[in-house]
Each structure stands twice: as structure tokens, then as C-alpha cells.
Structure 1
Amino acid sequence: MQFVWRGRLYVVHEVLSRWRERSAWWEHAAVAAVHGEATEAGDPGGRARPVLEIGDLEREVFRVEASVGHSGGAGVYDLARPVRPGTAAVSEVGGTSSSEASEDWQLLRVSD
């Protein structure tokens, strides 16, 4: 696996840990919309409301050791993606197609 951060390609050498964590669902736009605090831009009547999806409630986090290329100094990175409906356990990092993974993954923390 690999990822791009700040315009550089990082190669994942090892998955150090993985877990699921809950998100702050109460901060989501859909919750604010229910309370009349937010509407979609360009919709003054408030008809278009954001929807709270299962992926907004929980995410998979992978702590990986990665470096720029194969010979660069390694750092520790936390990568996350939304949990897919119907998944019971934390999946493997390579468990999705490359187009799906590139759209869903997000870099959370860096400890390099």
C-alpha cells in the first residue's frame, strides 16, 4: 500500500495497529439541520438536508510505518476511512480497490 501526503508518495512498510473509533456524530451537519441550524447552500427553504450515514458514525484507523520511497526515513502515520455498512470486523488495509481507497482514506495524525 502507499499514500500521497504533501505531494510525496509514501510506501507503507508495516501496519502497527488497527482499530475502530466513534466519531462525534453530534457535530455532523445532519444533526444541526434537524435542529434548524443549517441548510444546504443555495437552498433558502431548507429542503435539501444532509444525511447522516453509517460511515459518519464510525471509522477504521490504521497506524502504519511508512517512508518516502523504499529508502527514506520511516515515520508513523494514522490513516482512516469510514466504516462500510455490514462490516463487522476491522478489515485489511488492502481490502478495497485502489479507486475506492483513494477517495475514502484520510490522514489523521503524523508522528515522524
Structure 2
Amino acid sequence: MRRFSDEVHVRCGARGEEAGVPALFVWRGRLYVVREVLSRWRERSAWWEHAAVAAVHGDEAGGAGGAVTAVRPVLEIGDLEREVFRVEAGVGRAGAVGVYDLARPVALGTAAVSEVAGNPVLDEPREWQLLRVSD
């Protein structure tokens, strides 16, 4: 399994498919079609490595003497937790199939994807990342 931290563009489920679940993604200029969602889970991130924590400790440029001025650094839920989808996908409809882990931050005040009701989301505004590839 190879690890990445690449930004990907994801299109989520269309009508008749589960809302908020990846259906297509573009990685390195290639379109991948999701054939199956194998699993999904949430991961906590290392909050102590976040820039807001460094700013509180004076490790980033701030005001005089390293003090943070003007804007109080804040960690949000999306900074601390991400939702990961392990999907089976291939380039186009006839390409070789591989397993990919796609992740997005959990937005503040939103339900888990499994709890989302209503119309499917076609263009997800949150940033997605490709984390791992096994092909």
C-alpha cells in the first residue's frame, strides 16, 4: 500500500445512490469511476501538530515577542477529524481496478454521511485527499 497526501476532486453519489459517497474522482488528471465502497470510518488527526497550536505557543510569527495578535487561532472539528472512504475504483469503466482511500474533513455541525438525508450532493465543497493506494 502506497501513501499519499494528494488533493483530489470528488463527485459524490447521483440520484439513486447514497448521498455524500464518492462516485467519481480525478487524480493526477485521470478520471476514476468508483465501483464499490468497501468501507468507511472516521480518523482523528494529531491536533498537537496543527498550526493553531503552534501559534498559541508562539512558534509562528505573531505580534511583538511572538504573541498572537488580532486573530485568535481556533481548531475546528474539520481540523481534528476526517471521514475516510475505502473504495474500489478504476480508470474509466474498463480500466484495471485498485483500492483507494479518499478522505475529507468532517464539517462542523454536519451529520455523518450515513445520517445525511435528502438530495444527493453532487459537488462536495470540502477538500478531499487521496491517502492510500493499493493496486
Q: Does 1:36 align with 2:58?
A: yes
TM-score by length of 1: 0.82
Matched residue type, 2:130: L
Structure 2 Cα separation of the partners of residues 91 and 99 of structure 1: 15
Match of 2:30 in 1: 8
Q: Secondary structure at 2:59's aligned position in 1? A: coil
Contact 1:19 1:90 in 2 (8 A): no
Match of 2:92 in 1: 69
Q: Secondary structure at 1:26's aligned position in 2? A: helix
Match of 2:14 in 1: none
* Aligned-residue offset at 1:89: 3.3
Q: Identify, as 1 or 2, the structure richer in strand.
A: 2
Structure 1 unaligned regions, length at least 5 = none
Q: How does 1:30-109 map to 2 (within 5 A)?
A: 30-39=52-61, 45=64, 46-47=68-69, 48=71, 50-91=73-114, 95-100=120-125, 103-109=126-132
Matched residue type, 2:44: R
Q: How many residues align?
A: 106
CA RMSD of aligned residues (A): 2.2
Contact 1:65 1:77 in 2 (8 A): yes
* Aligned-residue offset at 1:105: 1.0
Following TM superposition, the consecutive aligned residue runs of length 4 or more in structure 1 with deviations greater than 3 angstroms are 43-46, 87-92, 94-97
* Aligned-residue offset at 1:73: 0.4
Structure 2 unaligned regions, length at least 5 = 1-22
